[in-house]
Amino acid sequence: MIGSLTSSVGVLAAEIHVGEHPRMSLFGLEINRDTFISTLVAGAILVGLGLFMVSRIREGVPGKLQLGFEGLVKYVEEQVESAMGVRSAPFVVPLAVTLFGFILIANWMEIVPTHERLISPTSDINLTAAMAVLVLVWVHLTGIRKKGMLGYVKSFTGAPRWLIPFRAIEEVAKPLSLALRLFGNLFASALMIALMALLPSFALWLPNVVWKLFAMFIGVIQALIFSLLTIVYFSFAVNEEGH
């Protein structure tokens, strides 16, 4: 039995190709259909939860969803205040909260049994890379607006000059780190779920439940890390001491 399972795992691993998705054409562009649909669903869920929470707001008697959201916002505000001061870049709080909510919902979509109709869109490197580029471009534009073009460039090229190559490497590593960390964890989670499906049905339920609970925990951690790194990168761009 062990030999058969090992052989099946080897066949499955050989059949898995990173980056292969069903394609569709939209406005002349070829896009990943499953990622596109799942991203729209995750965004709709996030907006729907927000509208639902707003409709249920009660003064003095907050619901569970409102309490959870207010706790998240307070936590993010504390992180932004300690990193750069909320007044320095007030938009960072709603940006970080939105990123956390969207990434969390996108991560958790992997554990919902949809017979592969919906995937976790964050397991597609195209989405995670797009979010990382969006954040880093916004970071640089904010730094230029706060310090001016000359002042912002000096934060990378100032003394000691021998650090300039390392600063350049750091700026390249930032979007790669944001994109690949999130993609790698979510792709590995999807792979583990596929591998566990090879287990006999009578033994499948326990590891399946345990892994899905663990995957939910990892989903929270990855969403939190992406949001916190976003705050850290904005603090580098805004603070006078720079890098």
Residue 17, pLDDT score = 55
Q: Please state, for a pLDDT cut of 70, what percent of the chain lies above it.
A: 77
**Residue 68 pLDDT level (bands cut at 50, 70, 90):** confident
| pLDDT band, very low/low/confident/very high, at 60 (cuts 50, 70, 90) | low
**pLDDT value of residue 242:** 47
Phi and psi torsions of 213, nearest 5°: -65, -40
Opening angle at CA 193, ends 188 and 195, nearest 5 = 90
**Token couple for 46:** 């996030």
Residue 29's Cβ-side half-sphere holds a number of Cα atoms within 13 Å equal to 6
- The percent of residues above 90 in pLDDT, for the chain, comes to 20
Please report the pLDDT score of residue 14 as a whole number.
45
Structure tokens at 77: 């505000």
178 vs 12 pLDDT, higher one: 178
pLDDT digits (tens, 9 = 90+) for 148-161: 888 888 777 766 77
**What's this model's pTM, rounded to 2 decimal places?**
0.80
CA distance 106 to 94: 18
Residue range 20-35: average pLDDT? 79
Q: Taking a C-beta distance cutoff of 8 angstroms, is the pair 21, 36 a contact?
A: no
**Extents of the domains making up the chain:** 8-238
| DSSP state string for 68-118 | HHHHHHHHHHHHHHHHT-GGG-TTHHHHHHHHHHHHHHHHHGGGS--TTSS
What digits encode the pLDDT tens for the residues 87-141?
Answer: 888 899 999 999 999 999 998 887 776 656 778 888 888 889 999 999 999 999 9
Mean pLDDT of 22-49: 86
Give the residue among 134, 102, 123, 149 at the shortest CA–CA distance from 230. Answer: 134
